[in-house]
Amino acid sequence: MKNATMIVRYYRVDRRDIAAIQFIIEGYEGMAVVTTIDPKPARLQISIIADQQEDFDFLLRDLQSTFPIEEVPCT
C-alpha cells in the first residue's frame, strides 16, 4: 500500500450510524479509511485506495441498503 493513490469522497450519514459504518468499512483492511469530518451533521470523509474502488463501490451499495448514506460535495 506504499505510495497508493487515494480517492477521497464525502458522505452524509445518520450520526447514530457513524461508528457502525466506520467499523464495517475499515474491517475490509486496506480498502479505505473513514474520518469523521463533523459529527453533528454526520459528515464523513472516506479515503479509498484507488485499486480498491470497485470493491468499495460494491460495499457502499450494500451499506446503503441498511444505512442512509448520501454522497455530498466537499465543503
Residue closest to 72 by CA, chosen among 52, 44, 36, 47? 44
pLDDT band at 2 (very low <50, low <70, confident <90, very high): low
Separation CA 67–CA 14 (nearest Å): 8
Rg (CA), the chain: 12
Question: Based on the number of CB atoms within 10 Å of its own CB, is 46 exposed (0-12), middle (13-18) or buried (19 or more)?
Answer: buried
pLDDT tens string 39-48? 788 999 999 9
Residue 24 has pLDDT above 80, yes or no: yes
pLDDT of residue 45: 96
What CATH fold (topology level) applies to the domain 6-72? Alpha-Beta Plaits (3.30.70)
Q: Domain residue spans in the chain?
A: 6-72
Global pTM reads 0.88
Taking CA atoms, 28 is separated from 6, 21, 62, in Å, by 16, 12, 14
pLDDT of residue 21: 97
Residue 25 has pLDDT above 90, yes or no: yes
